[in-house]
């Protein structure tokens, strides 16, 4: 649609009331619960110690941007796609794709040109250019191992540290000055049963459910420095029967319906008597025994799908919504970004220590017409006011809205390793990828990539139960092996092309992929995604240096040597050298 989509704002004005409604839902848009906050630059502190103090004592109580007005543009977008030998690399296609309804962000042209505005041509992610060799060398293997194995989420009694602090909210977290924490309070115990459901110490399910997925391309592969997990929780109505009583079978069926709508595909379920729920799950015209939720969504032809239980009643009343490619209101995701643990046998595992705890909730519904108008309005605003950058609504306590219904909130390590709320500017960095690229499904990355039900626990498991090793490489609809294609296009496992371990393992001296390694990757993504123990330790140390500095607004990518394949200033009108788009086939 337009090259500026990725580097501008979905403002409140984009949530427009629209006439016409392709998805069959009423034209409703609830107001975003986050107050308006303007991004205003503030003075630079002198040195990392000052920055640490500013973050702790000041930035959590305002919505200032201290350093990077374009923090919604990730550091990876400044990658030099042309190598010094003239070879062209294309990691850009991973995020930038032609529109796929209802994501009307057609930003595939950013594979071909950088498209930066003058104000964002300067790369403010200056941590990329630091040499951390001496700092990393000063941290022993024993020290970093102890660090990553020490939980900063649970205390010694198994209580959630953040929740305990929020019960008596620290003054420097209390943006609203009302002595009450008004944002998300962590309530997941990371204690999963054999269906992936989290259980509280009382034994009750918290509603959170873990799922196995194939990690998104590039940065979030563990080989690049972090392990992570993602959990999902649906709104209470989708967990209840018609009388409002919690019902696990209804909850599981509604998960299958939501997954079918997001993936736009049939989803296998245990044999289910449809008459118990009054819903034709397999779409065969009769209430019988269903073994799958069949995706059949053509509302203009009278073909619609339904939830079960109380959610069905709310759907019929117009108080809850359903549409292909969209989650229902009240859907929540909980995402932890963690260090990499290496056990005594050298196996790569999810570390107890969290780098970040990320949370989002779908706070309002936008139908297809509203989402389309939002995207079109964004193009118009970019053309009319090219000097404007995004102005994100929200604050560090309540979270930041992404302009299309979702509110995001994050927690990150302070200099002592305890989790604290992210500042406004630190959270803006999260909102960018979840609202301004063509590759997401309703602003999400992981759930559309959930593995098939043929995997152990039907794919509902946490990485602490079953790891990445043994999961098959994902394929596009045309048979393209997804991770292999990334290696072909980028010649490395990360956008910056600095993962020499993967380069040495998968490419020969001429830079060609080694067939035997690719064959092994097809059957086991761990061959590519998991780092060696030595690399894991070094990247853990590199990130620990950033924590000590509290310099996240200058970049939070773990590296040791300064990066060469990155622009410090992108020339105006610069082309990537890519000649044709790589388009994912669904």
Place 449 in a pLDDT band, splitting at 50, 70 and 90: very high
Q: Is the pLDDT of residue 2 over 60?
A: no
Q: Is the pLDDT of residue 6 over 50?
A: no
Place of tokens 């490419």: 507
Cα–Cα distance, 102 to 444 (Å, whole number)? 13
Q: Is the pLDDT of residue 18 over 80?
A: no
Q: Is the pLDDT of residue 15 over 90?
A: no
Q: Is the pLDDT of residue 24 over 50?
A: no
**Is the distance from CB of 418 to CB of 429 less than 8 angstroms?**
no
Tens digits of per-residue pLDDT, 542-560?
999 999 999 999 999 999 9
Cβ within 8 Å of residue 310, ≥6 positions away? 237, 238, 240, 241, 242, 243, 244
Average model confidence (pLDDT) across the chain: 90
What would the mean pLDDT of 252-266 be, rounded to a whole number? 98
Predicted local distance difference test score (pLDDT) of residue 14? 32
The share of the chain scoring above pLDDT 70, in percent, equals 90
Q: Is the pLDDT of residue 261 over 50?
A: yes
Cα–Cα distance, 325 to 62 (Å, whole number)? 35
Q: Which residue has the higher pLDDT, 51 or 276?
A: 276
Q: Is the pLDDT of residue 123 over 60?
A: yes
Predicted local distance difference test score (pLDDT) of residue 436? 79
Cα–Cα distance, 582 to 586 (Å, whole number)? 13
Tens digits of per-residue pLDDT, 211-248?
999 999 999 899 999 999 999 999 999 999 999 999 99
Place of tokens 């003075």: 43
Tens digits of per-residue pLDDT, 77-102?
999 999 999 999 999 999 999 999 99
Q: Is the pLDDT of residue 382 over 90?
A: no
**Is the distance from CB of 227 to CB of 499 less than 8 angstroms?**
no
Identify the sign of the CA torsion 491, 225, 585, 439. Answer: negative
The two structure tokens encoding residue 63: 């919505």
Predicted local distance difference test score (pLDDT) of residue 58? 52
What would the mean pLDDT of 503-521 be, rounded to a whole number? 98
The two structure tokens encoding residue 378: 């964004």
Predicted local distance difference test score (pLDDT) of residue 10? 34
- The domains of the chain are located at 57-234+330-554
Cβ within 8 Å of residue 504, ≥6 positions away? none
Predicted local distance difference test score (pLDDT) of residue 465? 97
Q: Is the pLDDT of residue 493 over 90?
A: yes
What would the mean pLDDT of 355-360 be, rounded to a whole number? 98
Predicted local distance difference test score (pLDDT) of residue 391? 81
In degrees, rounded to 5, the angle at the alpha carbon of residue 238 between the alpha carbons of residues 400 and 308 is 145
Q: Is the pLDDT of residue 29 over 90?
A: no
Q: Is the pLDDT of residue 52 over 60?
A: no
Tens digits of per-residue pLDDT, 287-318?
999 999 999 999 999 999 999 999 999 999 99
Among 235, 240, 277, which residue's Cα sits nearest to residue 258?
Answer: 235
Predicted local distance difference test score (pLDDT) of residue 228? 97
Residue 355: how many CB atoms within 10 A of its CB?
Answer: 28
Q: Is the pLDDT of residue 8 over 60?
A: no
What would the mean pLDDT of 400-417 be, rounded to a whole number? 95
- 49 phi and psi angles, rounded to 5 deg: -60, -45
The share of the chain scoring above pLDDT 90, in percent, equals 84
Predicted local distance difference test score (pLDDT) of residue 227? 98
Q: Is the pLDDT of residue 347 over 60?
A: yes
In degrees, rounded to 5, the angle at the alpha carbon of residue 320 between the alpha carbons of residues 314 and 326 is 145
Predicted local distance difference test score (pLDDT) of residue 217? 98
Among 209, 214, 206, 211, which residue's Cα sits nearest to residue 185?
Answer: 206
Predicted local distance difference test score (pLDDT) of residue 81? 98
Q: Is the pLDDT of residue 38 over 70?
A: no
Predicted local distance difference test score (pLDDT) of residue 51? 46
Q: Is the pLDDT of residue 11 over 50?
A: no
Place of tokens 């039900």: 453
């Amino acid at each position: 649609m337009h090259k500026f989509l990725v580097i501008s704002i979905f403002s409140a004005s984009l949530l427009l009331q629209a006439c016409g409604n392709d998805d069959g839902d009423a034209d409703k848009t609830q107001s975003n619960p986050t107050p308006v906050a303007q991004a205003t630059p503030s003075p630079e502190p002198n040195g990392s110690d000052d920055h640490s103090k500013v973050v702790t004592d000041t930035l959590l109580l305002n919505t200032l941007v201290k350093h990077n007005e374009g923090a919604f543009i990730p550091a990876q977008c400044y990658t030099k796609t042309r190598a010094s030998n003239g070879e062209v690399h294309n990691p850009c296609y991973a995020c930038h794709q032609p529109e796929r309804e209802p994501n009307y962000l057609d930003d595939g042209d950013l594979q071909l040109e950088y498209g930066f505005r003058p104000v964002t041509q300067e790369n403010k992610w200056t941590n990329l250019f630091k040499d951390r060799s001496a700092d990393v060398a000063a941290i022993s293997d024993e020290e970093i191992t102890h660090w990553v194995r020490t939980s900063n989420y649970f205390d010694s009694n198994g209580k959630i540290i953040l929740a305990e602090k929020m019960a008596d909210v620290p003054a420097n977290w209390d943006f609203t000055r009302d002595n009450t924490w008004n944002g998300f309070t962590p309530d997941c115990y990371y204690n999963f049963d054999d269906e992936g459901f989290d259980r509280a110490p009382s034994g009750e399910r918290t509603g959170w459910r873990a799922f196995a997925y194939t990690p998104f391309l590039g940065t979030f592969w563990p080989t690049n420095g972090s392990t992570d997990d993602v959990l999902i929780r649906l709104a209470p109505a989708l967990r209840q029967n018609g009388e409002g009583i919690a019902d696990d079978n209804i909850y599981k069926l509604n998960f299958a319906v939501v997954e079918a709508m997001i993936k736009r595909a049939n989803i296998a379920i245990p044999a289910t008597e449809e008459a118990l729920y009054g819903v034709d799950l397999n779409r065969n015209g009769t209430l019988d025994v269903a073994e799958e939720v069949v995706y059949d969504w053509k509302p203009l032809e009278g073909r619609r799908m339904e939830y079960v239980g109380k959610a069905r009643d709310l759907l019929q009343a117009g108080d809850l919504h359903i549409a292909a490619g969209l989650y229902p209101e009240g859907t929540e995701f909980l995402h932890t970004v963690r260090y990499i643990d290496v056990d005594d046998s050298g196996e790569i595992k999810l570390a107890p220590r969290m780098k970040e705890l990320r949370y989002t909730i779908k706070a309002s519904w936008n139908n297809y017409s509203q989402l389309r108008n939002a995207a079109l309005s964004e193009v118009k605003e970019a053309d009319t006011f090219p000097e404007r950058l995004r102005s994100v609504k929200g604050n560090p306590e309540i979270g930041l809205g992404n302009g299309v219904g979702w509110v995001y909130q994050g927690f990150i390590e302070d200099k002592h390793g305890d989790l604290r709320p992210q500042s406004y500017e630190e959270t803006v960095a999260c909102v960018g990828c979840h609202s301004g690229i063509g590759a997401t499904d309703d602003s999400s990355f992981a759930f559309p990539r959930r593995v098939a039900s043929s995997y152990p626990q039907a794919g509902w498991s946490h990485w602490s139960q079953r790891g990445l090793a043994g999961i098959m490489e994902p394929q596009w609809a045309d048979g393209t092996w997804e991770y292999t294609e990334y290696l072909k296009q980028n010649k490395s496992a990360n956008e910056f092309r600095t993962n020499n371990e993967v380069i040495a393992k998968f490419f020969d001296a001429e830079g060609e992929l080694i067939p035997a390694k690719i064959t092994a990757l097809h059957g086991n993504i761990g061959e590519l995604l998991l780092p060696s123990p030595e690399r894991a330790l070094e990247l853990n140390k590199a990130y620990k240096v950033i924590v000590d500095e509290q310099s996240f607004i200058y970049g939070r990518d773990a590296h040791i040597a300064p990066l060469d394949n990155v622009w410090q200033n992108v020339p105006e009108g610069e082309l990537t050298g890519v000649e044709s788009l790589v388009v994912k086939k669904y």
